[in-house]
Structure formats: structure tokens, C-alpha cells
Chains A and B, each alone.
Chain A
Amino acid sequence: MSTETVTQTVQELKLTPPDPVPTVTPQQAMGLVPVTDEQQSKLAQRVDAYVADLIAQDVNSPEFGKRVDQLTNMGRKEIMEASAQSNRFLDKPIRRMDAESGVGADLAELRRVVEDLDPSKKGNLMTKQKLFGIIPFGSKLRNYFDSYQSSQTHISSILGRLGNGKDELLMDNAAIDVERQNLWVAMGKLEQMIVMSKQLDAKLEEKSAELELSDPAKSRAIKESALFYVRQRTQDLLTQMAVTVQGYLALDLVKKNNVELVKGVDRASTTTVGALRTAVTVAQAMTNQKLVLDQITSLNTTTANIIDSTGKLLRDNTARIHEQAAGATIPLETLSRAFQNIYDTMDAIDTFKLKALDSMKQTSEALEKEVEKSKGYIARAEGQAQAVKATQDSGLLAALEG
């Protein structure tokens, strides 16, 4: 029986940082959210009614101008709504991951405390301690295990904070889920507006071609004002859609990162508690010392969920460790391995963090650029909105209901 069997059951922790979200082009943005046939036909009806109404007006009358103004305002509400939400990712801080606060700081602290307890950094614990190098004075091993008792309060408070940090991460993810749901709705509305503006485009073009001979003035007015605005608006809507889709995907990136980080935190807690419990067993086996780590044991019951697997693992191992106790150094090696598990976990988290932060940075830079671009036309839309505030309501093309 080798020590390998004791620790091998702990699988290697793999934390995969998600890839950065690429820039979504306006061309790709359309058609991501489905618009039902029923909605399509409803929109078509509105478009028909609007076009018929527009054609019926005298080209030079203010009424015609008012109808055209409606076009410049088309989808204003949808765009405003989507733009308010799509940069949510940018205010979602990467705060949980930075080293100064939150989970990152707690993990660093845990590492320091754990390193202080690591048996492999204590020299040969098996040698007898001697006063002035001559007089036998206590056991190094005994002193070593005593140090556990003094650091258990510290460790359990760090583990408690890590638990809170994990809860915060879960809370963030819950918020992201809700935000993504809202974004999905906003994207659905944008998509409908895009469909509508495309239909308008086709319809207006058809009408202006029809009128080319019978009423060239009207045909030209439709082409130069109505059609021009519709196309401009389509572009605005598509650009906003692209930004929104990108924000939607970016939020998912944050969520995936958080999920990985939660895994890492769980594993760090598990391996730490595992090492401490191994220490209890080893102390018992080697020095017949009863190591009382009350705080950690109570932690056991509160986070039963996490610790369960470790607990099972350790129950199996306890017997083996006792068997091996005769072989003197083997239990200590087991303990060293348990510590190695903690380091491996933390190293995995560190590597993950580096890569994830990089992904996040790329994503937020790309999104920031797109949001910046979209700000230009939102400002333009606002300007138009104020100019034609009176016409925006009651229009056929006013915002979608609900």
C-alpha cells in the first residue's frame, strides 16, 4: 500500500477561463432573436397602414412632414432601453477577482496561513528537539501540531469569508441571469423594430417606384426624406442590436468566470479542511496527540455540502494512515501531499485568474468601443426626439407595446 492511494482520489482541478467575446458586427446582429410569424404579420399591417397614410398626404403639407418625423423617431424607446442595459457589463466590476479585496485577498491570506503550517517547510520534524543542542527538550513534532491549534481560529475566519465571497459571486450570477433576461426582451423588441424598418424600406421603395410616373414630386419626396430616414434608422437599430448582443454575450462571460471562481473557492476550502483533518489523524497516529480543531469541525457541519466528499475520502484514509503510522515518515508525507493539494488548487486559481482577467479586459475594451460608437447616434436620436417631441406619440410607428 503506497501513499499514492491516499491522495489520488482528489482529481486535478481544471478551471477553464472563457474566451473573450468578439466584436459583433451589425450584419451578424440581425436575426439572432426570433420574431414569430404572427408578430411579422402584425408589423406588416402597421407598415401598410403607415405607408398608405403617408401617400395620402400632400407632399408639401406639414402633415407629410409630421409623418416623416415619425420615421426619425422610430424605435427610439427600444434603442434607449437597450442601450441603458447593454453596457451593464461595463459596470460589472471584475472586483471579485482582484487581489486587493474579496475572494482574491482571502485566498492570498489563506495561502500565507497554510504555508506556515506546511510540514515540508519545517525541516525534519522527526528529530528530537534539544535545549542548547544537548539536553532533550520536548518533541518538534508535538510543537508542530500545537501550532494548528493556534491558527485554527484564523483559518476558520478566512474560510468563513471565502464562503461569503462565494455567496456574493452567486448573487452576481443571479443578477446576471436577470439582466440577461431583460436584455433578451430588449433585443426582441429591437429585432421587431429592425424587421419593421426593413419592411418599411421595401414598401416605400415599391411605392416610390409606382408613383414615379403619376406623381414624380411625391415619389422624389418619399425617396429623399422617408426612405432616407428609414435607412438611417435601420442602421442605427442594427448598430444598437450589435452592441446589445455583445453586451449579452459579455455578461455570460462574467457568469462563466464566476462559476469557475466558485469552483476554485470551493476546492480551496475543501483541500484546506482536508489537510487540517489529515493533520488531526496524523497527529493521533504519530504522537498519540489528540489535536482538537473544534472550529474546523464545526465548519464541517455548516458547509457539509462542500466538505462531504473530503470527509468520505478522509474516513477511508484514516485507517490506512494508522496502519502506516509504524512506518514513521509516511503519514507526514501524506500530510505534505494534502498541503500540496491546497497549493495546486491555488495555483490553478491564479492561472485561471490571469487568463480570465485577460479575456475580460479584451471583452470590455471591445464593448466599450462599440458603446462609444453607439453613443453618437443615440445623441442624434435624442436631438431629433426633442425637435419632434409632439409627433412622437399616437404615431403608427410609436414604440411597441409592452
Chain B
Amino acid sequence: MNSPASNSNETLNAAARSLRNVRMMPIGTKSQALRRAHFWGKLSKAVVAVGVVLIGAGIVGAVIDGIGFWGVMITGIVGAAAAYVLMRYPEMPMPTTESLRVTDLATLAGKTEIWLEAQRPALPAPAVTLMQDIGLRLDQLAPQLQTLDENDPAAREVRKLVGEHLPELINGYKKIPDSLKNKEHAGKTPAQQLVDGLKTIDREIETMTGQISRGELDKLAVRGRYLEMRYDNADANGQGV
């Protein structure tokens, strides 16, 4: 019979495992979508390569009247090698602080999510949970960014917040030596500063999502009001006879 005490190691391991799982889970659907798109791109390339190898073998076989046992073996090996190489490379390009700054708006949210996911191991636990929230917010923001004009003031704001302030906050934290991360400085520990900063960013992304969609809300309201004025003559707007 195992005593609960002897289970503790296992329990700890399980906890560590599930914590790792949580950490490794994507924080938003946009990063997943980007990864999936990359995977399918590679897969289709690999399929085409294998197809080319097979057709090539067929043509060679037709010309020299059968490629024989070694021919089949070589075809198989070449096909497998091509598939392996193409599935392995090119690796998903990892966004960096610099690339986030210049990335186009449409993929900004997804790339930021990927970048954030890569940063998780270096961050304290509360920040990791916050990251999950930010991922959610970025998911909500992403559809709005698709149609936003690059020169819109809102676009610049989003770029600043998501593409600059957020990476800089996290990089700033990472630069601090581990031993000082929990020592108080300027009223707060660096970990606390990081969490507070992330909270502000989280809230600000939400506000921005609201602001960007306000234009759309207004447009809809205007259209409704116009229909009222145009077709319901209830309103005395120089309308109706």
C-alpha cells in the first residue's frame, strides 16, 4: 500500500507536467491559425515533392524499361528524404521584437501571440496567466485589424501598444538578473511591475477594440437613422408631403 507521502513525488511531477502543458498551450487562436497555415504550406510542398519523385521514377522506368529493385529503393529513399526535409524546413519564422514592429497589421495579433508564447518560460506564474487573457483580447482585436487602414490613428496606436510597448515591457523584465527579480525597486518588485504593466496593456487592448469597433457601430446607427428619415415619414425632416 502506498502511503500518501510516497505519492507526493508523483503528485509533484504530475503538477509540473500539467503546468508545462498549460504553459505550452497556445494563448490564442490566431497564433494557432498562423501555425496551421504554415504546417499546411509545408505539407503541400512535401506532397508535391513526393509526387515529382514518383513521376520522375516512372519516366525513368519507361525510358530504361524498368528501374528494378534498386530503382524502387532509391525512389523510396529520395521521396522520404524530400518529405522529411520539406516538413522540417523552413522552420516557422519566429517573430522578434524588431520584426513585430514592421509586420503588417493583418497578422500583427497572431505574430504577437506567437512571440508571447515563446516568452512564457522566462516569466513568473501570474504573468503567464495574464498572458492567456491578453491572447484572448488579441483574438478579439484581430478581425478588426484586418480591415483597418495602416494610416489610421487607431492603427498606429495598436502598433505602438502591441508591437512596441508589450515586447519592450517583457524584454525589460527579462534583462533583469534572476536574483533581483523579486527584490523591491522603486516601490515594487520587477515581477510586480511586469504584472501591472501587462494588466494595463490587457485593459488598453480591450479599450482599443471598443474604439475601433465604434466606427462600425456608428455607421450602422447612421444607416438605421437614415432609413428612418427616408422611409418612415414620422420625422419632420422636410420629408413627406
Contacts and interface: CB of A to CB of B under 8 A. Distances in A.
B223 interface: yes
Interface in B217-241: 218, 221-226, 228-230, 237-241
B187 interface: yes
A173 B241 contact: no
Contact of B241 (A62, A177, A305): A305
B225 A178 contact: yes
Given A170-B226, A171-B226, A178 B238 contact: no
A260 B238 contact: yes
A173 B218 contact: no
Contact of B222 (A167, A175, A263): A175
Interface in B184-241: 187, 200, 203, 218, 221-226, 228-230, 237-241
A308 B203 CA distance: 57
A306 interface: yes
Contacts of A167: 230
Contacts of B218: 178-179, 182
Contacts of A170: 226, 229-230, 237, 239
Contacts of A263: 238
A236 interface: no
Contacts of A139: none
A94 to B, nearest CB: 18
Interface string A256-272: 00011011001000000
A164 interface: no
30 contacts: A167-B230, A170-B230, A170-B237, A170-B239, A171-B226, A173-B226, A173-B237, A174-B222, A174-B223, A174-B224, A174-B228, A174-B229, A175-B225, A177-B225, A178-B218, A178-B221, A178-B222, A178-B225, A179-B218, A182-B218, A259-B237, A259-B238, A260-B238, A262-B237, A262-B238, A263-B238, A266-B238, A306-B241, A393-B200, A393-B203
A262 B226 contact: no
A393 B237 CA distance: 45
Interface in B72-103: none
Given A62-B187, A178-B218, A305 B240 contact: yes
A175 B241 CA distance: 23
Majority DSSP secondary structure for residues of B touching A? helix
Contacts of B241: 305-306, 308-309
Interface in A219-244: none
Nearest to A182: B218
Interface in A244-260: 259-260
A251 to B, nearest CB: 13
Most buried by A among B203, B226, B237, B238: B238
Interface string B165-198: 0000000000000000000000100000000000
Interface string A41-76: 000000000000000000000100000000000000
Given A62-B187, A177-B225, A262-B237, 5 more contacts: A167-B230, A174-B225, A174-B229, A178-B222, A309-B241
Contacts of A266: 238
Closest CB pairs A-B (n = 9): A174-B226, A174-B225, A263-B238, A262-B238, A259-B238, A178-B221, A175-B222, A174-B222, A178-B222
A393 B228 CA distance: 41
A262 B228 CA distance: 16
A262 B237 CA distance: 8
B166 to A, nearest CB: 15
Given A62-B187, A182-B218, A262 B239 contact: yes
B214 to A, nearest CB: 9
Contacts of B229: 170, 173-174
Contacts of A306: 241
A167 B226 CA distance: 9
A393 B204 CA distance: 11
Most buried by B among A167, A259, A306, A309: A259
Contacts of B221: 178, 181
Interface in B81-138: none
Contacts of B228: 174
Interface string A168-210: 0011011101110110000000000000000000000000000
A266 B9 CA distance: 86
Nearest to B220: A178
Nearest to A310: B241
Interface in A136-190: 167, 170-171, 173-175, 177-179, 181-182
Most buried by A among B203, B221, B228: B221
A182 B237 CA distance: 20
Contacts of A175: 222, 225
A259 B218 CA distance: 21
A170 B224 CA distance: 12
A266 B237 CA distance: 12
B32 to A, nearest CB: 31
B147 to A, nearest CB: 20
A402 B77 CA distance: 65
B210 to A, nearest CB: 11
Given A62-B187, A393-B200, A171 B238 contact: no
Contacts of B230: 167, 170
Nearest to A262: B238
Contacts of A182: 218
A184 B156 CA distance: 28
A174 B226 CA distance: 5
